[in-house]
Amino acid sequence: MTEERSRYLLSLYLKQKANPEQQEELFEWINNQPDDGLIRDALQQAWAGFDPADTMNAKRAEQILEHILEQKEKKVIWMRVLKWAAAAAVLVAVSSIGYFYFTTQKSIDKPQMAAVEKTNVKSDVMPGSTSAKLTLGDGSTVLLDTLTGRTIASQGSIQIVKKNGQVVYENNSSGQNAEIFNTLTTDRGQQYPLTLSDGTKVFLNAASSIHFPVTFNGPERAVDITGEAYFEVAKNGKPFIVHARAAKVEVMGTHFDVNAYADESSLNTTLLEGSVKVSEGNAGLLLVPGQQAQIKEDGSIRLNKKADIEAAVSWTQGYFHFSNASLETVLRQLSRWYNVEIVYEKHYPEATFGGDMQKSLTLAQVLQLLDRSQVKFRIQGKQLIVIK
C-alpha cells in the first residue's frame, strides 16, 4: 500500500466514513507494519487534514484506539511498547486530548483529565527538534540540521551520509580502516538518530552524546555515551559494549535503553529484547526482557524485575509517559526537551503525575495539563518558574 493510500484510509476511518472493505484494508496494513513509525506518520498527516468541526469526543477516540490496538496485538514486549506508542499518537491526534492526570496524598481517588487546546499566550516555548552536532576525527564539526546534500563527510573508506533524516555510516571497503573516532552530540531541546557502520541503530536523546569508532576493527564493538541513548544492536558475532560513566553494558544483538543523565538518582538500563549484562566495578546483573538495572550513586546495583518499559522508551516514539512520577521527575524531562531552566519558588512534594503527552506540544500546552494539578507555573524567557 502506498503512503497516500494509507493516509486516505486513515482519514476516512477517523471521520467514520470508511466502509467495511476499506476498514479491512486499513487494518491489514496496520497489522503488517514491523513497527509503529509509519503508522504514526500516517496518523499525523491524516490528522493534518482533519477539519476541526469533525473533532470527536474522548470516548470515540478511545474506541478507535482500542480497535487499532487489536490489530497490533503481539506477544513480545517490544511490540507491546510499539503498540502503546501508536496508541498514544492516536489518542492525542484524533481527540485533541492529552491524557494526563495527577494524584496527591490528599486526593488520590479521582484522577483528572485535561484537554489540550491551542494557546495564544505571549510567553511560550516551542518543542525540541531533530538536530545534532557531529564532530569528525580531525576535530571539525558539522551541524546536521543545516545540511542540504546527502553526503556529510568521508572518514577513511567510510562514507557518512544523511539518509531519511538520520546519519548513516556506510562502509565501502572490506578491509580494515585506521582507527578514527567521531562524536554525535545533542544539546537540550534536540534528539537525533544514527546508524553505525555495523548496522547498529542508535537514537540519542536531548543533552546527550555518543563517542564511537567509524569502524569496529577489534574483537569488540565499544562506544561511550552521556545522557540517554536507545540501541538496536546489529548481530555480527562481536560483543557490543556501551560505556556510561563507570557502568558497562555488554550485549550481542538486542534492543535496550541506557539513561545515564547525571541529574537522575540512578543510571538505568532497560531491556526490551535479547539479553544484556550490566556491571559497575565487581557488581553485575544479567537482564532479561522487561527488566531494568539501576545503578545508584554508591555503585550498588538494583534489579527491577517489572520495569516500566513504556516510560523508558516513549521518548523515542514522540511522547512522554509518566506513571506515579514526582513533579521533579516530570520537570527534568521537560527541561531537557524544551531547553528551559527550572526555577522553584515553591515545592510541591506531595504531587505525583501519570499519563501521556505528545512531545510536539508547546510548553504552554503542556502547562495546561500540569495546571490541573494545582501546581502553577510561569514562563519567563528560557525559565520555567514553579510559582507560589
144 φ/ψ angles, rounded to the nearest 5 degrees: -70, -30
Side-chain-side CA neighbours of 199 within 13 Å: the count stands at 8
Name the domain boundary from 311, 335, 369. 311
Nearest residue to 153 via CA among 240, 214, 65, 222: 214
Whole-angstrom distance, CA of residue 98 vs CA of residue 227:
27
CATH number of the domain encompassing residue 261: 2.60.120.1440
Under the banding of pLDDT at 50, 70 and 90, the label for residue 148 is confident
Highest mean pLDDT: which of 86-90, 265-269, 369-373? Answer: 265-269
Q: At what angle do helices 20-31 and 58-71 cross, to 10 degrees?
A: 60
Model confidence over 169-185: pLDDT tens digits?
998 766 566 789 999 99
Residues 147 and 220 in one domain: yes
Model confidence over 24-47: pLDDT tens digits?
888 778 777 655 556 666 665 655
Residues 340 and 193 in one domain: no
Nearest residue to 110 via CA among 101, 120, 98, 123: 101
Model confidence over 247-281: pLDDT tens digits?
999 998 899 999 999 999 999 999 999 999 999 98
Q: What is residue 64's three-state secondary structure? A: helix
One-letter amino acid for residue 228 of the chain: E
Helix (H) or strand (E) holding 266: strand 266-273
Q: Are the CB atoms for 241 and 220 separated by under 8 Å? A: yes
Model confidence over 150-168: pLDDT tens digits?
889 988 888 999 988 889 9
Report DSSP letters for 232-245, one per residue. Answer: EPPPSSS-EEEEET
Q: How far is CA 172 from the centre of its chain?
A: 31
What range defines the domain where residue 340 resides? 100-125+317-386
Is it the case that residue 239 has pLDDT exceeding 60? Answer: yes
Residues 43 and 118 in one domain: no
Residues 106 and 31 in one domain: no
Under the banding of pLDDT at 50, 70 and 90, the label for residue 303 is very high
Its pTM stands at 0.74
Between vectors from CA 318 to CA 231 and to CA 286, what angle results, nearest 5°?
A: 30
Helix (H) or strand (E) holding 365: helix 363-371
Percentage of the chain lying above the pLDDT 70 cut: 74
- Output the average pLDDT for the chain: 79
Residues 246 and 267 in one domain: yes
Residues 49 and 158 in one domain: no
Alpha-carbon radius of gyration of the chain = 22
Is it the case that residue 81 has pLDDT exceeding 90? Answer: no
Whole-angstrom distance, CA of residue 120 vs CA of residue 372:
18
> What is the number of H-type helices and E-type strands within the chain?
8, 27
Helix (H) or strand (E) holding 314: none
Under the banding of pLDDT at 50, 70 and 90, the label for residue 229 is very high
Question: Within 10 A of 133 (CB to CB), how many other CB atoms are there?
Answer: 17
Lowest mean pLDDT among 89-103, 198-212, 290-304: 89-103
Which distant-in-sequence residues (6+ apart) come within 8 Å of 188 by Cβ? 128, 206, 207, 335, 336, 337, 339
Residues 138 and 118 in one domain: no
Whole-angstrom distance, CA of residue 320 vs CA of residue 299:
28
pLDDT (0 to 100) of residue 30: 75
**Residue showing cell 474522548:** 58
Residues 272 and 135 in one domain: yes
Name the domain boundary from 256, 281, 311. 311
Nearest residue to 305 via CA among 286, 323, 292: 292
Nearest residue to 181 via CA among 164, 166, 169: 169
Our count of domains for the chain comes to 3
Is it the case that residue 92 has pLDDT exceeding 50? Answer: no
Between vectors from CA 43 to CA 38 and to CA 45, what angle results, nearest 5°?
A: 95
Residues 139 and 256 in one domain: yes
Name the domain boundary from 261, 291, 311. 311
Q: What is residue 310's three-state secondary structure? A: helix
Q: What is residue 277's three-state secondary structure? A: strand
Residues 274 and 196 in one domain: yes
Lowest mean pLDDT among 44-58, 166-180, 341-355: 44-58
Q: What is residue 264's three-state secondary structure? A: coil
Whole-angstrom distance, CA of residue 160 vs CA of residue 168:
6
Residues 270 and 160 in one domain: yes
Residues 300 and 208 in one domain: yes
CATH number of the domain encompassing residue 364: 3.55.50.30
Nearest residue to 314 via CA among 86, 3, 71, 21: 86
One-letter amino acid for residue 150 of the chain: R
One-letter amino acid for residue 303 of the chain: L
